[in-house]
Structure 1
Amino acid sequence: MNNFIGLQNLVTFMYKRGLTFILTFLCFLPLTSCITTGNTNQAVFSWISDPKTFNAVLNSSSPSIFQYTYEGLISENPITGIKEPALAEGWDISDDQLRIIFTLREDLKWSDGEPLTADDVVFTYNDLYLNKEIPNNYRDSFRIGREGTFPKIKKLDNRRIEFQINEPFAPFLDNASVPILPAHILKKTLTQRGSDGNLAFLSTWGTDTLPEKIIVNGPYKLKDYITSQRVIFEKNPFYWKKDKQGNQLPNIDRVVFAIVESTDTSLLQFRSGSLDSIGITPEYFPLLKREENRGNFTIYNGGPAYGTTFISFNLNKGKREGKPLVNPIKSEWFNNLNFRRAVAYAIDRPRIINNIYRGLGASQNTQISVQAPYYDKSIKGYEFNLDKARELLKQEGFFLNKKGELFDKKGNRVQFSLITNAGNKIREAIGAQIKEDLRKLGIKVDFSPLAFNVLIDKLSNSLDWEAHIIGFTGGNEPHAPNIWYTDGNLHMFNQKPQVGQKLITGRVVTDWEKEIEQLYLAGAQTLDREKRKEIYSKAQQLVSQYVPFIYLVNPYSLEAVRNRFKGIEYSPLGGAFWNIENISVQEISE
């Protein structure tokens, strides 16, 4: 599901430092010696920061340990987009689509050897994720349909669990992929409270917990964690999955994540052989491509990455305490459809691809990721065309003075502020280019990258902004009520105030917003995939027509991986090691 992680996962990019910088790799030899202890059957990666918690329910950030330590009832194959069995060997859906029964595999066990049963599943959902006293990022995704009711979950026997919902809901199976946690360890934390009155669960399994206390069901369990240095995983001896020959998986004995708080340093360590894989940004690509054969690694290109980057105008006509959220003069421009279309035509996406992404990117034309099965390839978006842009502005009474400055029909100079998150070099570069592009129309753009928390406060709380550049993450499932429902917390181009914020009067919801909302509601209620494609195609057409978000460019999904790994099936959604339990290490002759 789409969410605001696009704002949180700020990717920084390096500039060329010069060859003399390579000499500094010597200072990293102690780290290398710590993580290469003679065991060649291991994989060494990097995280840019320390994990924030070892509690899967409470986690709200990346990086995290949970992709290695926990599984849900089912999983999604990131290449095919098909839901596949995980802890559950299968599931049955009733004819009315309102009852789903999951059947667990036989003899499942936790990493401490205790049985994993339906009791753990019911406990995880009812007592943890749906517990009002436990704040978590999963709970809202369990709400069904427009009414937002929660499923009813009960145990049928030790291996079967029944989920009942009140209306057909196509995205519901996504909820079956959340981590399942051990009731025999955590149940007691719901009957105990700390001195602050909060459930003991809220302070359970922090990063100061001894690794052996963390009980898991995934391919790996936590072995060691040293703050600001490394996280080490070892094989879970009770993991359920086996290969075709009946051998216990995973194949790789140990996975190490070095905490490397600089992308420059990560690149350096990969080139020196300390890391086995690295995500590649456009700045890295020319250098690594030249070294691909000599360095004995392969660069995987998955095509356009999932997610979207866009520019958006504040269309909210409301007032707070009698003061308009947006200057009424500017609000009239922003709510003028031809003005938004003119801006969309004036942005030179090919230039962004060539200059900022170094040719390693592609235009994004709709709200659904290019890689997703629901993406409508027939929608062409807004190609760079200044003549079209000028004609649209002229139709609305905009005109240029002798200095080439644009004015509206009432004689107001067209000028607005554009914000994004400071430190994201790509977005900063895109903003600088958009400022140049719109100057060709006579529009003055005041571009100001802001500190991340300041940006979030403007977009979520004060709603005091005119235009911004941000991004949303994406996936194969198009359902995004938080964005496209008119009261969604990420319906940011016309935001309803969030809980606890001051009221807004005079907010106007347009007919096209309501129509898009109804299409997303219908898409969630429709289970037939082809019919869903038709619904989401209409939604994409409306978004393209009314341009609440002006979509820009996505980088290619690129990753460099050592050739000693066998079984890599690269996916832009899951990366190179999404199926790590099936990947093995092979010795390669130099």
Structure 2
Amino acid sequence: MKKLLFVFIALISSILFFAEDVEWLVVDVDGGVPGNTLFLGTTSGPKTLNPATSQETSSNDIISLFLDSMLQQDQYGFVTQPALAKSWKYEKTSEGGVSYYFTLRKGLKWSDGEPLTIDDVIFTFEKIYFKNDMTPNGNDSYLDSEKNLPIIEKVDNYTVKFTYKTLVRNGNGIFGGTSILPKHIFKDHVSSSDALAQTWTVDQLKSVVASGPFILKDYKEGVRIVLEKNPNYYAKSKDGIRLPYLDKIIYTILPNNQTELLRFKAGDLDLMGITANDYPTLKAGEEEGNYKTIVGELNPGPSFIAFNFNAPEKYKRAWFRDSEFRKAVSFALDRNSVVDNMLNGMGAAVFSREVPDSKYYDEETINRMHYKYSLSKAKSILRKAGYVLKNGKLFDKFGNQVTFSIETNVSTEVWVDIANILKDSLQKLGIDVIFTPIQFNTLVQKIITTGQWDAVILRLSGDTPDPAAENVWTLKGGLHFWNFSPETKEFVDKEDYFVPDYEKRIDEIMVQQKTLLDDEKLTKLFKEFNNILAEEQVLIYTFAQNYLVAVNNKVHLYTKKPNPYIKSTYRIYAIWKEN
């Protein structure tokens, strides 16, 4: 009996020793009460549980709850803060390149008890993300300007080094922001992309292990998603409570956003993002409903009007490529009317890709451009550019009547409203606009596949604060849709293809930013980029809505003012809920 007692005590001692050996992430939070369940809603469940093959937000949102990366986002959305890695740094090499170092915490474990080590990190990159044909997105995001992958080295049992032969910025985001996968689970499933894609499907929930704050416990398609606290998570509060605070998160899968709103009002959900249309009603019902509404910062990636520089009718290309024509259209759009009447004031008029909250927004320069609603200014610009008004109709200097079609997604009400407002305004300038709202997939096909369009109203996702979307802004980018290169799309007329000087400069900026490690110089470069977009009205940006959320009064968020990059569930392991 004494021997058994000794063995038991020794076992307990070893467990306690191991627990103390963890290099904890100490989170700047205290006073939270452990326990309880957070109830959320979603309109779509995950399509996969594998981050290497995920292509949709509905999957990524769930994956982020059970898989961590070496670094996590700071309050501005940049990937700079410790997570699995306790520290990181970069050093320029004597050969003109750069090395990025990441040092993992000691004592990390997967939810199944297996150690999480530097070997998992190296495996994740070498066998999966660095293989060009292994994932749907390929390995482009890991290549340097000469299309070379970094050399990955194990420095010691806790440190990994990624070395490029050339300068590459944002290695902290490139490597630090990638979800680390368990080698002991995936090592037998990386022989091909098909083998990888068949790993951690939604039907294989029992094989999924976690490094993040929660473990996926149940998923019934079209019904619910259940996650429970990961007992092996490596974070603590300032007052020593092991995180996460919450015991569970339950997502109810709902048919649409309106149903989600009704469920929130009924008290079935604790938290939800809300639209500008719903904000006034929810604001008025705060006291009775025992919740509060929060007005966050402006959403990035504003909606815009784009003209096709390679329009099917050649004479129209001259208009659409003309910066003065686009400026006139910009002055003819009453953005403030859109914000006041359609967003209930929950937004701002914008004239460039970056919104006023961004560190890359040059407020003084953009304010000097004065792109405020003025039909008289629009008329003056058109007249000076050689356009002539005859019997109430506008003609270019070659005698062509100025008329074009504009299309947008029929399901996005505010885009439809913008199109109608613009159509009415341009009619006052003598420009006839044919507006056609169509299905989104049809619209995308016209833009990407056939090039058969004049103008569209769209937005590009602004999920990252980094403006360097090379596939959008470089001349040969796969999403440089307003002026596709003939090398990218066969439907572009090679003989008539035209690249203005400002687009050449933007292309140069996208190349230069890749090797610029100095943040001050980088900020200056991206401000120049954004100023060019505003000056030339390459895309005519329209408005940005505030990030809006409603939250149960019993729920204590980590961040008091959510922004679109970090959202209201930022540091979800530090969110707690009263009984």
TM-score using structure 2 length: 0.88
2: CA distance between counterparts of 1:414 and 1:460? 25
CA contact (8 A) 1:306 1:370 kept: no
Residue identity in the other structure for 1:400: L
CA contact (8 A) 1:73 1:178 kept: yes
Moved more, 175-184 or 428-437: 428-437
Look up the match of 1:13: none
After superposition, where does 1:501-580 map in structure 2 within 5 Å? 505-506=494-495, 507-569=497-559, 570-572=561-563, 573-580=565-572
SS in 2 for 1:124: helix
1:453-472 alignment runs, 5 A limit: 453-472=441-460
Residue 401 (structure 1) aligned with residue 406 (structure 2)? no
Q: 2:211 is paired with a residue of what secondary structure?
A: coil
- State the distance in 2 between where 1:261 and 1:103 align: 44
Find the counterpart in structure 2 of residue 341 from structure 1. Answer: 327
Residue 328 of structure 1 and its aligned partner are, at CA, apart by 1.2
Give the counterpart of 2:51 among 56, 60, 79: 56
* Count of residue pairs the alignment pairs up: 533
2:432 corresponding residue in structure 1: 444
Contact 1:181/1:216 (CA < 8 Å) preserved in 2?
no
Does residue 89 (structure 1) correspond to residue 86 (structure 2)? The answer is yes
Taking a change above 3 Å as real, the CA distance of residues 502 and 252 of structure 1, as seen in their structure-2 partners, is same
- Match of 2:372, SS state, is coil
Distance 1:78 1:490, change over 3 A: farther
- Verify the 8 A CA contact 2:360 2:530 in the aligned structure 1: no
Structure 2 counterpart of 1:75, one-letter code: Q
Q: Which amino acid aligns with 1:345?
A: F
More off after superposition, 267-276 vs 126-135: 126-135
Determine which of 477, 481, 506 is the counterpart of 1:488: 477
Task: In structure 2, list runs of 5 or more residues that go unmatched.
Answer: 1-33
Which residue of 2 is the match for residue 114 of structure 1?
114
Once residues 78 and 124 of structure 2 are traced to their aligned partners in structure 1, the CA distance between those partners, rounded to angstroms, is 25
**1:39-438 pair list within 5 angstroms:** 41-64=36-59, 65-79=62-76, 81=78, 83-96=80-93, 98-137=98-137, 139-145=139-145, 147-175=146-174, 176-191=176-191, 199-209=194-204, 211-316=205-310, 325-378=311-364, 379-380=366-367, 381=369, 382-402=371-391, 404-438=392-426
How has the CA–CA distance of structure 1 residues 460 and 148 changed in structure 2, closer, same or farther, with 3 Å as cutoff?
A: farther
Query: Which amino acid counterpart does residue 579 of structure 1 have in structure 2?
Result: R
- Deviation at residue 369 of structure 1 after TM alignment: 3.7
Please tell me whether the aligned partners of residues 460 and 498 of structure 1 are also in contact (alpha carbons under 8 angstroms). no
Q: Are residues 168 and 384 of structure 1, via their aligned partners in 2, closer, same or farther at CA, if it must alter by over 3 Å?
A: same
Q: CA deviation at 1:180?
A: 0.6
In 2, Cα distance between equivalents of 1:567 and 1:337? 45
**Alignment partners' CA distance in 1, 2:312 and 2:399:** 19
| Structure-2 change in CA distance of 1:61 and 1:500 (3 Å) | same
Deviations 1:161-198 (A, max 9, x none): 1101122222322112111111110110123x6xxxx6
Alpha-carbon separation, structure 2, partners of 1:529 and 1:312: 31
Post-superposition shift, 1:107?
1.0
- 1:436 is displaced (CA, Å) by 1.5
Q: Deviations over 1:184-225 (max 9, x none)?
A: 10110123x6xxxx631121111122x221112100110100
Q: Distance in 2 between matches of 1:477 and 1:98?
A: 20
Task: Answer yes or no: is the 8 Å Cα contact 1:308–1:551 preserved in 2.
Answer: yes
| Distance of 2:528 and 2:509 partners within structure 1 | 8
Measured after TM superposition, the shift of residue 93 of structure 1 is 1.3
C-alpha separation in 1, matches of 2:442 and 2:557 = 44
User: 2-side partners of 1:443 and 1:178: how far apart?
Assistant: 49
In structure 1, the gaps of 5 or more residues are 1-38, 317-324
Change (3 A) 1:148 1:376: farther
Q: Secondary structure at 1:137's aligned position in 2?
A: coil
CA distance in 2, matches of 1:501, 1:295: 57
Runs of 4+ in 1 over 6 A off after TM superposition: none
Aligned counterparts of 2:302 and 2:279: Cα–Cα separation in 1: 21
Q: 1:80 to 1:200 in 2, by over 3 A?
A: closer
Amino acid at match of 2:556: K
Asked if the contact 1:484–1:520 (Cα under 8 Å) also holds between the matched residues in 2, the reply is yes
Checking the alignment, whether the CA contact within 8 Å between 2:128 and 2:135 is kept in structure 1 is no
Deviations 1:101-146 (A, max 9, x none): 111000111111101111111111121112223233373322323x
CA distance in 2: counterparts of 1:238 and 1:541, whole angstroms: 48
SS at match of 1:343: helix
CA distance in 1, matches of 2:477, 2:327: 24
> What is the SS of the residue equivalent to 2:153?
strand
Q: Structure 1 pair 332/349, CA: closer, same or farther in 2 (3 Å)?
A: same
Once the two structures are TM-superposed, the CA of residue 156 in structure 1 deviates from its matched residue by 2.3
Which amino acid counterpart does residue 120 of structure 1 have in structure 2? D
Return the alpha-carbon distance in structure 2 between the equivalents of residues 521 and 425 of structure 1.
37
Whether the aligned pair in 1 keeps the contact of 2:408 and 2:443 (CA below 8 Å) is: yes
Q: Relative to 1, partners in 2 of residues 1:326 and 1:524: Cα closer, same or farther, differing over 3 Å?
A: same
Q: Tell whether the 8 Å contact from 1:371 to 1:476 is kept in structure 2 after alignment.
A: no
Kindly state the Cα deviation for residue 486 of structure 1 after the two structures are TM-superposed. 0.9
1:239 aligned partner, one-letter code: Y
Counterpart AA for 2:133 = E
- Given the superposition, is the C-alpha separation of residues 434 and 150 from structure 1 closer, same or farther in structure 2, using an over 3 Å criterion? farther
* Residue 574 (structure 2) aligns with: 582
Q: Deviations for 1:468-500, whole angstroms, at most 9, x for unmatched residues?
A: 111112232222211221111121221125768
What SS does structure 1 have at the residue aligned with 2:292? strand
The SS at the match of 1:306 is: coil
Separation of aligned partners in 2, 1:244 and 1:356? 44
Q: CA offsets, 1:386-415, max 9 Å, x none?
A: 11110111112222222x222222222211
Contact 2:150 2:163 (C-alpha < 8 Å) held by counterparts? yes
Letter in 2 for 1:525: T
Q: Which deviates the most, 56-65 or 149-158?
A: 149-158
What's the offset of the Cα at 1:504?
A: 5.0
Structure 1 distance, partners of 2:186, 2:439, is 38
Bigger mean CA deviation after superposition, 520-529 or 111-120: 520-529
CA shift at 1:502, angstroms?
A: 6.0
